[in-house]
Amino acid sequence: MPLIVKTAEDLAADAEAAQRARDAIAARRFLADTDWMVIRATETGKPMPEDVAAQREAARRAIAGGTDRS
Asked if the model's pLDDT at residue 69 lies above 80, the reply is no
- How confident is the model over 18-36, as pLDDT tens digits? 999 999 999 999 999 999 9
* pTM of the shown model: 0.77
Q: How far apart are CA 53 and CA 37, in angstroms?
A: 9
Phi–psi pair at 61, nearest 5 degrees: -65, -40
Q: What is the band of 2 on the pLDDT scale with cuts at 50, 70, 90?
A: confident
Position 65 scores a pLDDT of: 83
- Alpha carbon of 66 to those of 13, 18, 21, 43: distances in Å? 16, 15, 12, 31
Cα–Cα separations (whole angstroms), residue 60 to 7, 17, 22, 56: 32, 17, 14, 6
